[in-house]
Amino acid sequence: MTFPTRATAEAAPGTPNPVRVMIVDDSAVIRGIETRILESEPDVKVVASVANAQLALSQLARTPVDVMILDIEMPVLDGLSALPQIRRIAPQTKVIMASTLTTRGGEISLEALRLGAIDFVPKPTVGTIFSAEDFKRELVNKVTALGRVRLPGAHAPQRTPAQKTRPAALPAMSGPPPKLRAATGTIPTIIGIGSSTGGPQALQTTLTALPASMQLPIVIVQHMPPTFTKLLADQIARATGRPTCEGQDGMPIAPGRIYIAPGGMHMCVERQNGHGIIRLNSNPPESFCRPAVDPLFRSLAAAYGPSALVLILTGMGADGARGAEVVAKAGGTVLAQDETTSVVWGMPGAAAATGMVSALIPLGEIGHRLGDYAAGRAR
């Protein structure tokens, strides 16, 4: 099975319509470094570079922008305060927040996602950025992947025929729609969820819609750095009223509880004396991610077999697709968010391309459908 890669997802070099980027940061050094990184890509063009969000708003009113890299703390007007105005002026501009990896940075980033930002990148340290290959890769991948994505529910801008390419990081969908696998009918005893770009909002929508009677344990991998995952767990607990925490090594898996993989660690599950427990490890990243979805899904297949149900939500790349195949081959059930409601249909699209997905579900229906599966009503 071949999965989409950046090379196949992006427009070819020399495209007449590069991804248009605006960089907003009060540090001229950071703006210069990010500009050099992005403009080294043949299909990216930095069309504006400004020192605060007020200047960004003025520039945005007259300059079309596909992606904005937005700093949080700036003089005159900060990024968080400007977000609602940015979304109003340019609803198809994808905003990526530049965030510090601190508790405060995480809290602001999660609030920015709630206000309409699409994703975030860790804000680099000026003294180390030239050797920060992870930052360069993450910045380039997110900008190129999001640059041509149409946001769900927003009016798509008019494009010339040359611009009518598929969004980046999506599987090629020419030809027939994905073939779905018949549901097994086995009632699940545990749910595993994987998500990335757009995931925090999709998780909250899904988990708050779960029926109160649905008390299966839920284990989640959301691509996020340390600190942020603890804040995400707290946010989900408040929104859902369900006990939610970062997973800890050796922690028993209990009904009705939600466990989030901690940033920087892979989270897996195993069975001991018939009971599930959480296992953490620092094995090498998979799909450039730690935590990654594939290790969790593989462990669910090994520990729970046919009674494992896994769900892949919006996200870039293909993490989770191979793990989903393992779950399906063990007799478990695989579900995925549909393309229309996904911010990026990379991860769910890659899973659908395996032929192992039993249903592609709009985001607003997923919580109720999970309740149906848990109650044995889904076929």
| Catalytic residue annotation | 196, 223, 319
Structure tokens at 53: 């969000």
* Sign of the four-CA dihedral 160, 161, 162, 167: positive
For the stretch 229-257, what's the b/e string if a residue is b when 16 or more beta carbons lie within 10 angstroms of its beta carbon?
Answer: bbbbbbbbbeebebebbbbeeebebeeeb
Under 8 Å between Cβ of 106 and 227: yes
Under 8 Å between Cβ of 328 and 356: yes
Measured distance CA(244)–CA(241) in Å, rounded: 9
Locus of tokens 């501009």: 93
Residue by residue, DSSP assigns 228-260 as: HHHHHHHHHHHHH-S-EEE--TTPBP-TT-EEE
**Furthest C-alpha separation in the chain:** 65
CA atoms within 13 A on the CB side of 57: 17
Residue 316 burial by CB count (10 A; 0-12/13-18/19+): exposed, middle or buried?
A: buried
The Cβ of residue 330 has, within 10 Å, a number of other Cβ atoms equal to 18
Q: What are phi and psi of 250, to 5 degrees?
A: 85, 0
